[in-house]
């Protein structure tokens, strides 16, 4: 299974490492690439842009605020512009229910 993970803070990085340990093909992105270093050293791939998530079966987002979710998902270069039909987006971001 091909999984994408966007947002590698305290919670996101731990979720991503558990996915990687399970043997999935994992592509990650974060505002600061340094936060992805352990994942990249363990076999994850780095996404330079949201377009790099277009071939993923599932995309997880774990972002800190609604603007980050909006930019990543539906912005000018958002991953939803590249995601193929019948794929899944799981938003675990810490945003308010009305935004979700």
99 pLDDT band, cuts 50/70/90, is: confident
Q: From residue 85, how far is each of 26, 50, 55 by CA, in Å?
A: 19, 16, 10
CB hemisphere CA count around 50 (13 angstroms) = 21
Query: Tell me, what's the pLDDT at 75?
Result: 86
* DSSP H or E run through 88: strand 88-91
For 54-77, what is the mean pLDDT? 93
Q: What pLDDT score was predicted for residue 96?
A: 86
In the predicted structure, residue 76 carries a pLDDT above the cut 90 = no
For 8-31, what is each residue's pLDDT tens digit? 999 999 999 999 999 999 999 999
Strands 25-29 and 58-61: unpaired
């Amino acid at each position: 299974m091909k999984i994408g993970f966007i947002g590698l803070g305290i919670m996101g990085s731990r979720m991503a490492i558990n996915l990687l340990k399970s043997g999935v093909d994992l592509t990650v992105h974060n505002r600061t690439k340094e936060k992805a270093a352990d994942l990249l050293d363990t076999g994850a791939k780095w996404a330079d842009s949201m377009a790099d998530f277009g071939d993923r079966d599932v995309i997880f987002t774990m972002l800190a605020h609604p603007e980050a979710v909006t930019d990543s998902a539906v912005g000018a270069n958002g991953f939803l512009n590249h995601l193929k039909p019948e794929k899944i987006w799981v938003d675990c971001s810490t945003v308010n229910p009305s935004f979700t």
